Amino acid sequence: MPKLKTKSSAKKRFKLTAKGKVKMPQAGKRHGMIKRTNSQIRKQRGTTIMSKQDSKIVKSYMPYSLRG
């Protein structure tokens, strides 16, 4: 059986937590900040945990990373 390749885009964008959840940067903060309220901008700082359904897809892109 050949080795599986990790998607380069996924390894650059996502990290796995110790329990196997997918950590990702907050979406919606690249441009258009004038339209957003200050509270929205504050909430979009840092990282967030991806939903269970989406994280299943992302984990398939990273076959050899640790899964909790």
* pTM, full prediction: 0.81
pLDDT of residue 68 exceeding 50: no
What's the CA gap between 65 and 68, in Å, rounded? 10
The token pair at 33 is: 């900040």
For residue 66, what pLDDT is reported?
A: 67
For residue 41, what pLDDT is reported?
A: 94
| Domains of the chain, first to last | 8-61 (4.10.410.60)
Q: How many residues does this entry show for the chain?
A: 68
For residue 67, what pLDDT is reported?
A: 57
Q: What is the pLDDT of residues 21-61, one digit of tens each?
A: 999 999 999 999 999 999 999 999 999 999 999 999 999 99
For residue 1, what pLDDT is reported?
A: 85
Q: Give the distance from CA 21 to its chain's centroid.
A: 9
The token pair at 15 is: 């990290």
